[in-house]
A and B are shown apart, each in its own frame.
Chain A
Amino acid sequence: MIEFRSLCKKFGTQEVLNDVTLKIENKQVQFIIGMSGAGKSVLVKHVVGLLRADSGEIYLDGEEISRLRERDFFRIREKCGMVFQNPTLFDGLSIRENIAMPLRKRWRGNKKAANDLADEALDLVHMSAYGDTMPFVLGAGLKKRAAIARALALKPQYLIYDEPTTGLDPLNARRTDALIKEMAQTTGITSIVVSHDLRSITDVATQVALLHERKLRFVGTPQMLKASADPVVQQFISGSAMGPIHE
């Protein structure tokens, strides 16, 4: 279970998160939604120590992790993978080598075992034929799947997806949604998905949290989201230009 307690974060004088408290239960597909710049990515990057909170606490399976040192976050990052908004594959390495990289760093060598596990991860995302391919040859959808395979290689208990469907065509976006759903069902992984793709929310989410003006505005199921009487939630769902949400 991941729990944020009264989390606050500022960049300079700009406040991004203010008193955010959220509990993410195991085996959920938790969507974190909101306007661009609402602080969704900032929130999830705290879990893996890529950003540090100004105040508040973060608990991962009961352990308070917000004050850990960079070195201590290595074990947290094995437990909690992340797929970035950009595919972040390394151009000089083949897809298999990209996926094997975290494994080789973890084991300090043992190339064959790392490559075998990389092939397993590729199989999970239905990309077995692409192991020797270089990343620059692939389209955006396949790159995103390869990035998911890399995050899965360490067999994490939690997987964070930062805007997985952004920049993809509708077909690849739905394929990515289906993959997230499949991973959650077949591996039992807890998924945290940052998104503003309404179709993804309807198809994949089991829980939704809406960030608005630095605070959590809504937490509940997708059905509760749709039924909410909150004008902010309704404007977000309808995508209307008129309403309480401003730039």
Chain B
Amino acid sequence: MTVTMGFVGMILVYQGCTQAQRILGDMSLIGPGFLQLVVREFGPTIGAMMLATRVGAGIAAEVGSMKVTEQIEAIRMCGADPVEMLAAPRFVACMVATVVLAILGSLIMYAIGGLTAHVAFGVSSATFFSTRLVRPLDVINGFSKIFVFGAIIPLVAMQSGLNASGSSEGVGAATTRTVIEASLLILMFDVLIGSFYFLLGQRTGFFFS
């Protein structure tokens, strides 16, 4: 995941620098602008979408297999609640993983972006690695998304897994459904949370803008 985030950072900065060089001839805002985008958009969203395909699909496949091989019914026969027994630990683990991996992925994306700007366009590290455009509201925005996306992935995966039916075909369908639904929900909540903080920033002035 971090390798992919690194490549995304490289491509975005390369394209950004190319356009800035052609249109403006000034690349001093590329680094600060890119950091702002990483903090409030790319880090949480791309990181969560990748986790949905990897972790979400894994949870759905595991729980779906347990469902079609009667292990969920066996858990109920043992006097345990399958939702409590399977969902709770996966929910906590997924929340922690999303927070850690989104932060790590964002750092790598930003660092590789800085390296690309320096090697390909000669942007100095002092110019690129500047935090002057990032406001507290951007950080709050980014963390809000990380927590919401971290909850969406296990909830969608558990729901799909527990509703799997039939045999291996049903498990495959649950896995596919998880990736599609979780990705769609992540993008929908990205727009909703982003819009909320945009409006909040406009109302609360420069510090939170």
Residues of A near any B CB (own CB < 8 A)? 45, 48, 50, 74, 77-78, 81-82, 84-86, 88, 90, 101-102, 105-106, 150-151
Residues of A within 8 A of B73 (CB): 45, 50, 82, 84, 88
Q: Are A77 and B71 in contact (CB under 8 A)?
A: no
Residues of A within 8 A of B80 (CB): 101, 105
**In chain A, what residue has the closest Cβ to B78?**
A102
Partner of A102, one of B69, B71, B79: B79
- Cα of A81 to Cα of B78 in the assembled complex, Å: 9
Residues of A within 8 A of B169 (CB): none
Residues of B within 8 A of A81 (CB): 77
18 A-B contact pairs sorted by A residue (CB < 8 Å)? A45-B73, A48-B77, A50-B73, A50-B76, A78-B79, A82-B73, A84-B74, A86-B69, A88-B69, A88-B73, A88-B74, A90-B71, A90-B74, A102-B78, A105-B78, A105-B79, A106-B79, A151-B77
- Write the nearest CB–CB distance from A94 to chain B, whole angstroms: 15
Q: Are A101 and B77 in contact (CB under 8 A)?
A: no
Partner of B79, one of A45, A74, A90: A74
Number of A-B contacts (CB under 8 A): 38
Residues of A within 8 A of B70 (CB): 84-86, 88
Residues of A within 8 A of B74 (CB): 84, 88, 90
Excluding A77-B77, A84-B73, 14 further A-B contacts by CB distance (< 8 Å) are A50-B73, A50-B77, A77-B79, A81-B77, A85-B70, A86-B69, A88-B71, A88-B74, A101-B78, A101-B80, A102-B77, A102-B78, A105-B79, A105-B80
Closest 6 CB pairs of A and B: A88-B74, A102-B78, A105-B79, A84-B70, A86-B69, A105-B80
- Cα of A90 to Cα of B73 in the assembled complex, Å: 12
**In chain B, what residue has the closest Cβ to A74?**
B79
- Cα of A43 to Cα of B117 in the assembled complex, Å: 68
- Cα of A50 to Cα of B80 in the assembled complex, Å: 13
Q: Are B76 and A77 in contact (CB under 8 A)?
A: yes
- Cα of A84 to Cα of B78 in the assembled complex, Å: 12
- Cα of A133 to Cα of B138 in the assembled complex, Å: 53
**In chain B, what residue has the closest Cβ to A91?**
B71
Q: Which of A50, A78, A106 has the most CB of B within 10 A?
A: A50
Residues of B within 8 A of A102 (CB): 77-79
**In chain B, what residue has the closest Cβ to A73?**
B76
- Cα of A48 to Cα of B74 in the assembled complex, Å: 11
- Cα of A50 to Cα of B77 in the assembled complex, Å: 9
- Write the nearest CB–CB distance from B2 to chain A, whole angstroms: 28
- Write the nearest CB–CB distance from B66 to chain A, whole angstroms: 9
- Cα of A85 to Cα of B73 in the assembled complex, Å: 11
- Cα of A155 to Cα of B77 in the assembled complex, Å: 13
Residues of A within 8 A of B76 (CB): 50, 77
Q: Are A82 and B71 in contact (CB under 8 A)?
A: no
- Cα of A129 to Cα of B76 in the assembled complex, Å: 28
- Write the nearest CB–CB distance from B94 to chain A, whole angstroms: 18
Contacting A at CB under 8 A, from B48-100, are: 69-71, 73-74, 76-80
- Cα of A150 to Cα of B77 in the assembled complex, Å: 10
**In chain B, what residue has the closest Cβ to A78?**
B79
- Write the nearest CB–CB distance from B163 to chain A, whole angstroms: 14
- Write the nearest CB–CB distance from A29 to chain B, whole angstroms: 20
**In chain B, what residue has the closest Cβ to A81?**
B77
- Write the nearest CB–CB distance from B85 to chain A, whole angstroms: 9
